[in-house]
């Protein structure tokens, strides 16, 4: 009886272990577009912080270069970087085994207008706010917003909220402010409202206490779910 449950647990553990070692790359301030000279901090949130990770990027000039290797500066657990247009590209976290996170596209402009749009995929049903900003004017100016090249809205306050986003809102967005110019374009990705759940690692020593705790986490929003506790061993 006892042996059977140990075997079951070991099977469960090996099943769960294969889904671990995931991380989420976060960008602060949270935006996919920046002005030349802005300060950006990138970090990896992961379940197992001992796993070790590096931040890498592809730009139009260089592929798979690591933070600190000619760009960015390591600061404990984040990569800090003062961005310039040549820093535009795809960024991701990587462990020795390979990529472990989502990828994000960052665009840096030498121009005077940016669109602040979500850098991470947004979930179906969420409200999304887009902000059209100039480099020089502190207050918000009237702006026009475009999706896939067509004008969708003109807003006197420079920001626009898309309520309850659906898959059809996915696309390439940009904005312009008359007299200041146009922003670069950025993709907004909309994902299904029910993201897959990943599980944190289960340590074998927990078995000797007669129970193991399985801690599910959602991959995209990282909201912890209630722990699942199995205590069938004793
Ligand atoms: C980065 O560049 C490498 C080498 O060209 C390529 O194999 C890889 O798929 C690129 N990764 C991304 C996320 O674009
Ligand atoms: C890097 O950024 C973080 C977060 O903004 C900050 O706490 C830290 O002091 C910065 N480190 C350096 C070396 O700039
Ligand atoms: C990054 O941008 C490229 C080109 O615009 C696009 O094909 C790709 O899907 C984007 N990736 C993400 C993660 O947004």
Q: What is the mean pLDDT of each run of 10 residues along the chain (234 residues)?
A: 44 42 84 96 76 86 92 88 97 81 93 94 92 88 96 95 95 96 95 62 51 54 52 46
C-alpha count within 13 angstroms, C-beta hemisphere, residue 85: 6
Q: Whose CA is nearest to atom 4 of ligand 1?
A: 63
Q: Could you tell me which of 234, 174, 182 has the C-alpha nearest to residue 209?
A: 234
Contacts of 17 (CB under 8 A, 6+ apart): 201, 202
Ligand 2 close to Cβ of residue 41 (< 6 A): yes
Task: Please report the pLDDT score of residue 231 as a whole number.
Answer: 52
Q: What is the pLDDT of residue 137?
A: 81
Take atom 1 of ligand 2 and give the residue whose Cα is closest: 80
Q: Is the CB of 39 under 6 A from ligand 3?
A: no
What's the pLDDT score for residue 48?
61
CA dist 48 and 52 (Å) reads 8
Residue 220 and residue 121 in contact, taking contact as beta carbons nearer than 8 Å: yes
Residue with tokens 């898959």: 167
pTM, to two decimals: 0.75
Atom of ligand 1 nearest to the CA of 63: 2
Q: What is the dihedral of CA 70, 76, 82, 84, to 10 degrees?
A: 50
Asked whether the beta carbons of 27 and 104 are under 8 A apart, the reply is: yes
pLDDT, residue 45, reads: 80
């Amino acid at each position: 009886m006892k042996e059977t449950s140990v075997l079951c647990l070991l099977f469960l553990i090996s099943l769960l272990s294969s889904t671990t070692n995931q991380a989420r790359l976060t960008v602060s301030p949270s935006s996919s577009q920046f002005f030349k000279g802005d300060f950006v901090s990138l970090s990896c949130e992961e379940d197992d912080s001992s796993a070790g990770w590096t931040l890498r990027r592809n730009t139009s000039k260089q592929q798979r270069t690591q933070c600190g290797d000619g760009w960015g500066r390591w600061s404990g657990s984040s990569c800090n970087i003062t961005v310039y247009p040549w820093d535009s590209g795809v960024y991701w976290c990587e462990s020795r085994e390979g990529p472990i996170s989502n990828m994000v596209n960052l665009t840096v402009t030498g121009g005077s207008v940016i669109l602040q749009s979500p850098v991470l995929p947004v979930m179906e049903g969420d409200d999304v706010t887009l902000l059209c900003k100039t480099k020089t004017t502190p207050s918000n100016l009237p702006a026009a917003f475009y999706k896939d090249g067509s004008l969708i809205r003109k807003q006197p306050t420079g920001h626009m909220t898309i309520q309850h986003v659906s898959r059809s809102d996915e696309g390439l967005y940009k904005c312009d402010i008359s007299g200041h110019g146009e922003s670069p374009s950025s993709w907004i990705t909309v994902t299904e409202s029910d993201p897959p759940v990943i599980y944190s690692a289960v340590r074998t020593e927990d078995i000797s206490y007669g129970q193991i705790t399985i801690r599910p986490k959602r991959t995209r929003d990282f909201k912890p779910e209630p722990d699942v506790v199995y205590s069938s061993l004793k």
